[in-house]
A and B are shown apart, each in its own frame.
Chain A
Amino acid sequence: MSGDGGFPGVKSLFGGRGGFPGKLKFVRKGQGSEAGEGAASQATGRPSDESAAQQGMATLSLDGSSGGRRPMEAVSSSSPPPPQPTSGRPSSAGGGSSSGGGSSRRTTASSQEEAAAGAGAGSPQAEATIRPQRDGVQVAALRSMSETRISKFNRLLDEQVVDLEALRELAWSGIPAGLRPTCWRLLLGYLPPNRERRTQILARKRREYRDMVPEYYDLAASGVDQMGEELGALRQVAVDVPRTAPGVAFFHQPQIQKSLERILYIWGIRHPASGYVQGINDLVTPFMAVFMSEHLEGPIEGWTLGGCSDDLLLDIEADCYWCLCKLLDGIQDHYTYAQPGIQRTVFHTQELVRRVEEPVAAHLEKEGLQFIQFAFRWVNCLLLREVPFPLAVRLWDTYLSEGSQLKEFLAYTLAAFLLSWSAQLRQLEFQELIMFLQRPPTAGWGEKDIELVLSRAYMWRASFKGAGAHFS
């Protein structure tokens, strides 16, 4: 199910359902306008930013043996997927540190829950076994971040060259707050696994970003030498920054607003294939919160920038920028013309719901509700808008651990998220449904709730992968 192989093209997504008139036209239009908009970057299939940045990094072998962009397909399709969301036990410690690769993977399914999940996943009756597992998962999800878990992270991070696969496996189930900034940088391939190189590379990337600020932002912001498109981008960013995470006061301090504005504007200008798209502003906030947490004490509610020097703030801003680049690299087609990546994920989500809980899918269909009507935003902002802000970072732990599998995993996550309310949904009619799903009641959610969603997503993926032939 990796890549686009299993999906119809954007065009045919709408053919059957009749929901999107005029789509064909959009697709055609899009190709035309994109070509004009960023011909250079389109030609290489990469935004100009990326090709430049990646070439630069390659010379320093940041992308070497276990760089963040290394595709995981080969590994995860031939052996059980890495993360062990159901595990509260130090099951993967041995495997993770002894040897990388598939063999250690197999040894990870050692706890009872994992064994159960594995059996369910592999069996042809996977669908039937999904539900009963829920309780077991819930219990496991309640586990606290134990000492042993933290020491496992420390052991991994202390290595001269961090075993990224092992880190992914461990981080998937949540990263201890204090280790999160480093883990995220590593998972995203922003920091190299080799400890010797880190200081140098970090310094270089931060310098690079500093140079971009006058080159791109200051010039545009001063109103000199700007083209219509840049002006429009600047205006859009300026409209969105004050509306970013309105519930979190920290983001509304003037310096942070300025940082967000620069990050988003520069990102947009350097990625002309999509440009800045509304909602990307949301995606910076977890990075900002986590990289700030290295320097500020206590919960985000109490943060002020008093003690932070401008220099420090710029470094954090640079980290946010590069990490945003890395994250969006993998989901670029979420934001290009007609947003085909989002449409595909929404379609995939719908298919999954149909497979897992046909009656829910049937009910939504009977009510005339289309997935695109509520799930579009879920994908566009990677569920950030749908969960309380503190849970966003937990969600990010798993997303970043998924690496190149994120796109595929998202559909499973959204399906699991939706089916958190499967019983309620079946009681509602069109209008109630759409109002409900526009504001899913997650205000009271804690980590265990989001972890339950992630665990189910994980299991469904394992099931459908294992029984691929059976289901397709």
Chain B
Amino acid sequence: MPPARPDDDYDYLFKVVLIGDSGVGKSNLLSRFTRNEFSLESKSTIGVEFATRSIQVDGKTIKAQIWDTAGQERYRAITSAYYRGAVGALLVYDITKQTTFENVERWLKELRDHADANIVIMLVGNKSDLRHLRSVQTEDAKAFCEREGLSFIETSALEATNVETAFQRILTEIYHIVSKKALASEEGPAAAPSSGTAIKVTEAAPETKKKSSCCQSA
């Protein structure tokens, strides 16, 4: 690994995936979080797109490597490969489109089939700015999350409501799990970047080791 660059110092590196039906606003949540940008006419995501941002949690620098995936079913064969090594997933639906909420179950199954069992999942109801068009009630989504043991938040990428909070929360949750685990296994979190691997990912491939983190390269 080349020497760390000054702007690239971090204590933890977490790989997070953005999943959910096409058009629910995954790419805009990502661009809002990483670049503070929103576009009413963003292009559809083909395959996957990658972005990153670092935040502070408990005085530690957490770097999130976020893989934004294509929502269409056809792409799942490609995109589910990126679930491997992910420690968090933001599962997004559109509060104005009932079907995108109904499909959440299918997405959860995708995660069960392809992601690590310990992956932290947060359900995100996006487009909360479209109040007059709402078709998924907050209570229903909340109840669903309680049943499934997921965290939940409603966001608006357009109005930048709760976007920061959503990412902050899931990263914090992951951090707490990781640091607890690290403590348990007596590997101080000071083990630096590689400590991200404390959340055990499915069979570590050789190349995963090479980058000394759980989060790089698919």
Contacts and interface: CB of A to CB of B under 8 A. Distances in A.
Contact of A277 (B49, B52, B72): B72
B47 A20 contact: no
Contacts of B74: 274-275, 277-278, 335, 337, 339
Contact of B22 (A236, A274, A282): A236
A370 B78 CA distance: 13
B44 A438 contact: no
A376 interface: yes
Contacts of B72: 236, 277-278
A18 B84 contact: no
Contact of A376 (B8, B46, B52): B46
A451 B115 CA distance: 43
Given A239-B23, A369-B217, A338 B77 contact: yes
Interface string A231-242: 010011001101
Interface residues of B, number: 40
B46 A278 contact: yes
Contacts of A335: 74
Interface in A323-341: 335, 337-339
Interface in B143-194: none
Interface in A362-397: 368-370, 372-373, 376-377, 380-381, 385
Interface in A386-430: 429-430
A380 B46 contact: yes
Contact of B78 (A18, A239, A246, A338): A338
A23 interface: yes
A252 B41 CA distance: 10
A370 B44 CA distance: 22
Nearest to B80: A22
A337 B77 CA distance: 8
A26 interface: yes
A300 interface: no
Interface string A437-451: 010000000000000
B136 interface: no
Contacts of B41: 242-243, 246, 252
A385 B78 contact: no
A338 B206 CA distance: 25
Contacts of A26: 77
Contacts of B42: 243, 246
Nearest to B1: A429
A282 to B, nearest CB: 8
Contacts of B49: 438
A377 B130 CA distance: 31
A434 interface: yes
Interface in A169-212: none
B218 interface: yes
Interface in B179-218: 202, 205-207, 210-211, 216-218
A30 interface: yes
A282 B45 CA distance: 12
A122 interface: no
Given A278-B75, A430-B217, A21 B43 contact: no
Contact of B207 (A29, A368, A380): A368
B65 interface: yes
Contacts of A430: 211, 216-217
Interface string B30-51: 0000000001011111111111
Given A22-B80, A338-B78, A373 B50 contact: yes
A259 to B, nearest CB: 18
A380 B70 CA distance: 12
A-B pairs with lowest CB-CB distance, top 4: A246-B41, A368-B217, A239-B23, A376-B47
15 contacts: A18-B205, A22-B114, A26-B77, A243-B44, A275-B74, A278-B44, A278-B45, A278-B75, A279-B46, A338-B78, A339-B77, A369-B217, A381-B46, A430-B211, A438-B49
